[in-house]
Structure 1
């Protein structure tokens, strides 16, 4: 969510006046976190009422691709899942154009992110993620996860020139392993549906309610796609339930998230058998993307690429462990 395309308050007000009934923009502030789109906190005034939104200008996604993400958010919001709700414009369109880019406004969730989550935070996320998966079952649109294995296969050759020999061997051997896994009958049998695919700690908010943190909501759905639900959970586990210095699983947070997820949706036998490979797939996906962002960057205001070695460590850690026991008794990993 860096700022690639600048927008002024006057430009936003002209756009709002023409397309929306949300009043006049009084404040526009660029959001520095993230690396894909240009995002701004937008405050409007209308009849003495102040409202807060998030304005997004899309830098990679086309206008034709965007209805999947935005209508998924609209669908989940209507199902009671705590996600930002897109505003449709006066022509009932869910996406418009601003400064030459596709643009939309969504409601702003309340709360704050916790970059050092507790067991309770992980439990809340596990519960809500399972509910989100089930709520998406009757979503009518379908779009593959654009950062899945086909993207890995095309991107790995681009980053290999920037790797040392050990990294080269690791990334190529894991890619071959994942290609074989994705082609297996067991993988094909895994339950799937709309998935967030990027549910990191900074994409979740928590509200303090009566002295206790409650889920404020999930946001930033612009890597979402129809994928295996197990992959979505593995991405989440690999960010929320680890020791940041080593990439190794934190057992208390891991067990809390897994148990609360399975209290809503139990794993099928094929999911239990595929769990270790899916944790590795989730690690590879973000190692590849961080290598790409770091070594082949785009210019943007406030853009700071993430350290690729973080997910290299996570992938190495997942490859070293033989079993993570993804069931309700998941209390330990076996080396």
Structure 2
């Protein structure tokens, strides 16, 4: 294993599912034994064989699901009916300990969309990778700008050692998944208080929306649960400038047990941590995007610049919010 990786290696970690638009042959080979999860002829996810086998259980098919060669659909004429059917399916799997990933059940619903931003159904957060459906989150980088005498510095948290997913890895200053009914702005405000103890009024005044990332992740061992589950994601991205502590700037502090510590790292230290793959994969992508937007990573100093940028701003074949 190399001691240092290229930035493109980090992108390969987080955007690891072949793109049907740019790599149709690789996509066809990868999905040869997968089933499309559809709603009214629109693809809303992909189902791998071990999940399809579970769906074929006679206690789950019939009224709840329609299964045909290469295609699966969730029955129900309304959002509520479809929500009930997938809830019953995943609940039974959880009770039977069918999938390890369901041990992380949070009683937190995510929205899966039909075309025109219409909710198709709502489902348990930890179950979404079983169906390869698109999920959403919001991440924020909190930083102290460079001065004539000091480099730019970023507040970087270390994830709690006891977390089920990516324990001990580095993260973005603030990050969280977007549950049902929560938009990206409210998600960031909420998570900033819960994860970093930032005052709500300060975040509302100083945080700035700067875009989004999109990528298609194939889960590996550090993600927790079964390896190979599919996780396409869109992350709304925010920046927040703060002053140094000596000048009265806020200092992030752990609050909810999700983070062990916050470290103030300069850009060179962050680069080293990235190249050592010490960041959680999607958080590394957020940092790369930050570097691009702030002129740290450019076409002139990075040979893979164009591929890095396009891979973390991927166009999806799914309906979106």
Same fold (TM over 0.5): no
What TM-score do the two structures reach when normalised by structure 2?
0.29
What TM-score do the two structures reach when normalised by structure 1?
0.28
Point out which structure has higher relative CO (alpha carbons under 8 A, 6+ apart).
2
Higher helix share: 1
